Amino acid sequence: MKTILKKPPKTLPEDIGILKEMASFQIPMKVNEMVRFQTYAHQYDLYYICPRCKISLERDFMSYCDRCGQRLDWKDYKKAKIVDSKDLHGSTHK
Ligand SMILES: [Zn+2]
């Protein structure tokens, strides 16, 4: 008897894109930046920011970003680079 080789179902490139997009949120992204907000003349507040959407995170060591759902990896948080809030938001206006 002949064995009929079944071809795997073809996946549309768009579907792969969506799947990759979904999977990428499950793969923890390293929190490696902090944003510095100036509160008073010589006083600053520091917040860790989401590596995906760059918003300041409400709490340290959150498992997921509450804005975009990105899973967060806090392994390198001590090495976080400090970015000035002006630089962070200023770049989007250029
Ligand atoms: Zn986010």
Question: Which range of residues forms the domain containing residue 35?
Answer: 13-86
Helix (H, G, I), strand (E, B) or coil at 49: strand
Looking at per-residue confidence, does 26 or 78 come out higher? 78
Q: Is residue 28 part of a domain?
A: yes
Distances (CA, A) of 24 to 3, 31, 55, 82: 38, 15, 18, 25
Q: How many domains does the chain have?
A: 1
**Mean of the pLDDT values across residues 16-20?**
81
Residue 2 lies in a domain: no
In a domain, 8, yes or no: no
Q: Is residue 1 part of a domain?
A: no
Least Cα distance to 55 among 83, 27, 18, 26 occurs for 83
Dist. CA 33 → ligand 1 center (Å): 12
CA of 78 to the centre of ligand 1 (A): 19
At 45-81, the pLDDT tens digits run: 999 999 999 999 989 999 999 999 999 999 999 999 9
Residue 93 falls within a domain, yes or no?
Answer: no
Q: How far does residue 24's CA lie from ligand 1's centre (Å)? A: 12
